[in-house]
Amino acid sequence: MERVYGTCVAINGKAVLFRGPSGSGKSDLALRVIEAGGQLVADDQTVLTRESERLVATCPDPISGQIEVHGIGIVPVDTVRRAPLALVMDLVPPEQVERFPEPGRCSYLDIEIPLLTIAPFEISAAAKVRLALSFEEKR
């Protein structure tokens, strides 16, 4: 088991982990993905557990079912308790996103996961998360 500082959402049963420093837009992007039909797994802290050859994302109990919304506070949201981790996305400023990136990888608990960068505050960011997840599933 490994606790990761990041926000995790599930889209069609597959988890995407958003990583970045405080204030980088993790919860904001998660909220937009949720509004587009995704589900929150965990906000701010995600627990990854190895199950055979896959990683499963869950939320620590004390923060389950909550998301921090800047300007509003901590609010309850519907969540999914667990989802297999399919993609990790590092949140970066727009000028750090490569136009044609080479496939990246990161590793947790000795399992490699696809890694991409995304500018979280772009209008299309939530759509890009869905597209990236769909694209990675076909690789």
What fold is seen in the domain 2-132?
Answer: Rossmann fold (3.40.50)
- Percentage of the chain surpassing pLDDT 70? 99
Task: Report pLDDT for 125.
Answer: 98
Q: Taking the model in full, what pTM does it have?
A: 0.96
Task: Report pLDDT for 138.
Answer: 72
Place of tokens 């399992």: 111
The full set of domain ranges for the chain reads 2-132
